Structure 1
């Protein structure tokens, strides 16, 4: 059995490894064998590189250890159902560090009841994480609108656009060659030359 520790942060500005030492220490109560999966990726996305790698490498009976449910998921209900099924299909046991009912396994009727309760709690916490993320985005959007801020987008680099037009008018270079010469993408060359 391997304890597969998954830590995630949404952006590179955040410290995904923040909880890693505590989770490694926590994992020792299950087994000395552990693997780390660290990524900077949105929890609103189902397909994440490190999570996919974890699921590919996992074996039946392994433990998937996360700090909290929101580190695993801020997914829609449909996507979270897909993720839960993938975890179940691999035979993984989900242990959430800040959800003590997931820490132990009980046999018999108590174990069955606890399993049902854990599934309900995890579903509830995943839904709350998704709602929290949605509300935060909405509040940011409202705050920006109330402040009068209007995103203007990236400003065009006029000197590069003029150079593209100049090279394009000579008709002796391909779009790829112009893009390389000016240091822009081919899409920019097509957009500036409009053909």
Structure 2
């Protein structure tokens, strides 16, 4: 059995590795080491996340996926959550979350009877579904509040949209001036090629015709 930790944050501004040391300590409490970490900055409302899919591809039958909370794994709608569960079930992968004590049984092999393990597994599956549903509802509630706030701001003429990250643009402009390639800048600044192109275009002097 290998333990594979999955760490996720929704945006590039957030630290997806925030809970890494906490998960290492948690696994150590049960006499285990984490074999691999899969980290990404992607929305939990998306099913097709590169690192999550890579984790499932890499995993062998019976491996454990360790997460800080279920919402780190998914904020999926019901159809996508069912799809993810089928992917996990196909390899008999167990999800262990610090917020779900009944999931710890995956780390305690041989400590209970087959009957008790079956009972705990059924309870854990039910709680896992419940926490996934709560995570999705929390995501939808926050989205709705955000949209309502935007609608009110627009009605009052106060909505300006998301402001430009001027500090990031200054860094991109400096790297462009130094001759760095788009790929180098993407890797360094963690931004899109579109943004680099915008900064490049804005930095070019406007030619005047006589």
Distance 1:152 1:23 in 2: 37
In the TM superposition, 1:13-162 aligns within 5 A as: 13-28=13-28, 29-105=30-106, 106-147=112-153, 148=156, 149-150=158-159
Distance 2:18 2:161 in 1: 35
Distance 1:86 1:3 in 2: 17
Distance 1:5 1:152 in 2: 36
- The CA deviation at 1:30 is 4.7
Structure (1 or 2) with the larger CA radius of gyration: 1
Task: Give CA-to-partner distance per residue, 1:45-70, whole Å, 9 cap, x none.
Answer: 00101001100100012111011110
Compared CA separation, residues 153 and 101, structure 1 to 2 (3 A): closer
Task: Confirm or deny: 8 A CA contact 2:24 2:34 kept in the other structure.
Answer: no
SS at match of 1:39: strand
Compared CA separation, residues 19 and 153, structure 1 to 2 (3 A): closer
Task: Confirm or deny: 8 A CA contact 1:3 1:30 kept in the other structure.
Answer: no
Task: Give CA-to-partner distance per residue, 1:66-96, whole Å, 9 cap, x none.
Answer: 1111000100011001101111111211111
SS at match of 1:103: helix
What 5-or-longer segments of structure 2 have no aligned partner? 107-111, 164-196, 199-210
User: Post-superposition, which runs of at least 4 consecutive aligned residues in structure 1 deviate over 6 A?
Assistant: none
Distance 1:86 1:71 in 2: 17
Q: TM-score, normalised by structure 2?
A: 0.69
- The CA deviation at 1:109 is 2.2
Query: Match for residue 189 of structure 1?
Result: none
- The CA deviation at 1:18 is 0.7
Task: Confirm or deny: 8 A CA contact 1:27 1:34 kept in the other structure.
Answer: no
| Count of equivalent residues | 156
- The CA deviation at 1:10 is 0.4
Distance 1:145 1:72 in 2: 31
Distance 1:100 1:19 in 2: 18
- RMSD over aligned Cα atoms: 1.9
